[in-house]
Every structure is written in structure tokens, then in C-alpha cells.
A and B are shown apart, each in its own frame.
Chain A
């Protein structure tokens, strides 16, 4: 696999806690989770830029809400 570069990431206590909770839930290291988040964010961003919209749907409540992404 491609060689990797190292960086320092500064997180608040709450952000670090959220990251650690997700790492346990997804059975991944912090690095793997952040890399996965970047891939997902890039994909969503590319589709939004192409004019698509992102929705969250609750099938039970028959509710559909647009998710606004930075």
C-alpha cells in the first residue's frame, strides 16, 4: 500500500471521546476511522458539488430531511 504521512490532530475532549466511542463501535483504530471519515466526506462533497442532495429518511415516520453538509 502507499506510504503514509504523519500529522498531529488537535481535538477537544468531547471530540476525542466521540472518536473513541466510534472506534469501539466500528472496531477500528483512530487513524483508520479518520481515514474512513475523509473518504466518506470526499465522496459526499463530490456528489453535492455535482448538484446532488443528501437526505436522511425515516421509513417508519415517513419523514425525509435534507442533510446540509459543510
Chain B
């Protein structure tokens, strides 16, 4: 794991900013720990909802297994994996690809971009799973990190991704533009201008 950067999240209970760590390269052992923590939380949340007689809706990405994803790619420079940690717990993970993906925006056509293969916040931060989410800002910080990777590689902030349906409003709020649909998922992209406005 790399030396972490310091970032800020919002504690939803107090409204205060809390310091968190952003790791640039995580290893399969860490990813396995993430899977364990998040799966246990989801199972507990489901059992509690059932006990209350409420319907439990698992997140769209509940089937993702980070250990497998990180194991396949953690040794590759072209597949950075980033993690946000706060209070000793993994709050969000993101897997990027820095080659083989090109912009679709008409003015940026065919120019390289950073592609977000997977991005997820911990289930306890998701309003759809947790009645009282713990931290806000995990997704925004990870998206900002993707833009910073893009700038570092001289891709001018260009970032692309396929969004799960429930996450679409989030990406739209950040200024990403929907540029059509591929295999059931909408494709979103940051142009250099929108990326610059987002990280400002």
C-alpha cells in the first residue's frame, strides 16, 4: 500500500469534517478485508430490516467482490486501485484503467481518458442501506482522485465510466455528461472543462 494522502469526509451524525486517508494502491489482502467488512454489514442490515418487517433492498453492486478484482490487477501500473479509509475502516474503493479507453465527447473524440471500472462506497455510508449513513463525501473524493490521476497522466482531467442506475444522479450532480448507453448501462464522461470545474 502506498503512503496515504489526507482527505476530508463529513460525519453525517455531527455534520463535522473528519480526517480520512486515501490510499493509491491497495493489495488483495486489504481488498479481502473490505469484502468481509461490507458483506457482514449488509447481512446484518438485511437481518435487522427483516426483524422490523421492512423490505431490504441490497445495493446494485452487492455482488462485487473486490478481492477478485484487485487480485487480477493490483500488479499492473495501468490498473490503479484507490481506497478511502476513515476511523480504521474502509469507506470506499475504486478501480481505474489508464489505458485502452478513449473519450467519446465530440470535442475530445479518441483522446485517452481514465476509465473508472468500479467505484463503491461502504454500505454503511449508503442512504439506501443505512437509515443513518456514517460518512458523506466518499464518492466525491474518489471521483476527484480519478480526475487527479487523469491530470497526472496528462489526460487533461478526462474520466469516463458506466454508471449503475441508482448512481446516475450522483455523477450528473458532479458535472459528468451522459453520452449514451452500452450494454444496459449509461456512459458518463468528464470533459477537461467539466473536470476542472468539478475539482475547483
**Residues in A lying within 8 Å of B, measured CB to CB:** 1-2, 26-29, 32, 35-36, 38-40, 42-43, 46
CB closest residue in chain A, given B25? A2
A62–B153 CA distance with the chains assembled, in angstroms: 35
Which positions 139-159 of chain B face chain A at CB distance < 8 Å?
148-149, 152-154
**Of B2, B99, B112, B153, which one neighbours A43 at CB under 8 angstroms?**
B99
Q: Which of B33-41, B71-79, B85-93 contacts A (4 or more CB under 8 A)?
A: B71-79
Quote the shortest CB–CB distance from B26 to chain A (angstroms). Answer: 13
Neighbouring A residues of B46 by C-beta, 8 Å:
none
**Residues in B lying within 8 Å of A, measured CB to CB:** 2-3, 24, 75-78, 98-99, 111-112, 148-149, 152-154
Q: Are A36 and B24 CB-contacts (below 8 A) given A1-B149, A42-B76?
A: no
Name B's interface SS: loop
**Of A28, A40, A43, which one neighbours B154 at CB under 8 angstroms?**
A28
Q: Are A40 and B99 CB-contacts (below 8 A) given A1-B148, A1-B149, A28-B154?
A: yes
Q: Is the CB of B153 within 8 A of A36?
A: yes
Q: Is the CB of B148 within 8 A of A39?
A: no
Q: Is the CB of A32 within 8 A of B76?
A: no
Neighbouring A residues of B153 by C-beta, 8 Å:
32, 35-36
A27–B109 CA distance with the chains assembled, in angstroms: 13
